[in-house]
Amino acid sequence: MSWTPQTAAPATAPGDGDLPLGDVLVADRLVPAQGPDVPCPAAALVAGELSRRGARPVRGALRLPAPPGAGAGEGGAHRSGAEGAVHDGGYTAVVAGSDPPRGLGAARTAAAAPGEKGERAVREAVDSWLAVAGTARTVLLAAPRSFCAGVERAIEVVERVLEQRGSPVYVRKQIVHNTHVVSGLEARGAVFVDELDEVPEGATVVFSAHGVAPQVHRQAAERGLRVVDAACPLVTKVHAEARRFASRGDTVVLIGHDGHEEVEGTLGEAPESTVLVETPEDVAALEVADPDRVAYLTQTTLAVDETAAVVDALRARFPAVRGPASDDICYATTNRQDALDAIAGESDVVLVVGSANSSNSVRLVELAERRGTPAHLVDDTGEIRPEWLAGVYTVGLTAGASAPPGLVEEVITALGGLGPVTVHEREVARETVHFALPSAALRS
* Residues 204 and 161: beta-carbon distance below 8 Å: yes
Total chain residues near ligand SF4 (CB under 6 A): 15
Determine, following the binding rule CB under 6 A, whether residue 332 of this chain makes contact with ligand SF4: yes
Residue 128 or 300 with smaller CB distance to ligand SF4 = 300
Q: How far is the CB of 234 from ligand SF4 (least distance, A)?
A: 4
Q: Is 335 annotated as a binding residue?
A: no
Site string for ligand SF4, 283-302 (x = CB under 6 A): -----------------xx-
CB under 6 A: which stretch of 109-117, 146-154, 375-383, 390-398 binds ligand SF4?
A: 146-154
Q: Is 260 annotated as a binding residue?
A: yes
The 10 Å CB-count burial string (b at 16+, else e) for 147-178 is: bbbbbbbbbebbbbbbeebeeebbbbbbbbbb
Q: What is the dihedral of CA 288, 292, 297, 302, to 10 degrees?
A: 80
Neighbours of 67 (CB within 10 A): 16
CB under 6 A: which stretch of 43-51, 81-89, 185-193, 227-235 binds ligand SF4?
A: 227-235
Calculate ∠ Cα 415-418-422, nearest 5°.
55
Q: Which residue is nearest to ligand SF4 (CB)?
A: 150
Pairing relation of β-strands 349-353 and 394-399? Answer: parallel
Determine, following the binding rule CB under 6 A, whether residue 235 of this chain makes contact with ligand SF4: yes
In one-letter notation, the amino acid at residue 285 is: A
Q: Is 178 annotated as a binding residue?
A: no
Residue 79 or 210 with smaller CB distance to ligand SF4 = 210
Q: How far is the CB of 269 from ligand SF4 (least distance, A)?
A: 16
CB under 6 A: which stretch of 47-55, 71-79, 240-248, 329-337 binds ligand SF4?
A: 329-337
Determine, following the binding rule CB under 6 A, whether residue 361 of this chain makes contact with ligand SF4: no
Helical segments of 56-116, H only: none
Q: Residue 142: enclosing H or E segment and its boundaries?
A: strand 137-143
Residue 161 or 329 with smaller CB distance to ligand SF4 = 329
Residue 196 or 332 with smaller CB distance to ligand SF4 = 332
Question: Judging by beta carbons within 10 Å of its beta carbon (0-12, 13-18, 19+), is residue 388 exposed, middle or buried?
Answer: middle
List, in order, residues 6 or more apart from 199 with CB less than 8 Å away.
170, 172, 193, 205, 223, 225
Residue 234 or 408 with smaller CB distance to ligand SF4 = 234
- Three-state helix/strand/coil letters over 5-33: CEECCCCCCCCHHHCCCCEEEEEEEEEEC
Site residues for ligand SF4, window 149-168 (CB under 6 A)? 149-151
Site string for ligand SF4, 373-402 (x = CB under 6 A): ----------------------------x-
Q: Does the annotation count 156 as an active-site position?
A: no
Site residues for ligand SF4, window 395-434 (CB under 6 A)? 401
Determine, following the binding rule CB under 6 A, whether residue 148 of this chain makes contact with ligand SF4: yes
CA-CA distance, 230 to 353, in Å (whole number)?
Answer: 23
* Residues 57 and 91: beta-carbon distance below 8 Å: no
Neighbours of 193 (CB within 10 A): 13
CB under 6 A: which stretch of 2-10, 312-320, 330-338, 347-355 binds ligand SF4?
A: 330-338
CA-derived radius of gyration, the chain: 26
Determine, following the binding rule CB under 6 A, whether residue 234 of this chain makes contact with ligand SF4: yes
What DSSP designation does 376 have? E
- Spot the catalytic one: 241, 262, 264, 278: 262
Extract the annotated binding site: 148, 177, 210, 232, 260, 300, 330, 358-360, 402
Extract the annotated binding site for dimethylallyl diphosphate: 177, 210, 260, 358-360, 402
Residues that bind ligand SF4 (CB under 6 A): 148-151, 209, 232, 234-235, 300-301, 330, 332-333, 360, 401
- Which residue numbers are catalytic? 262
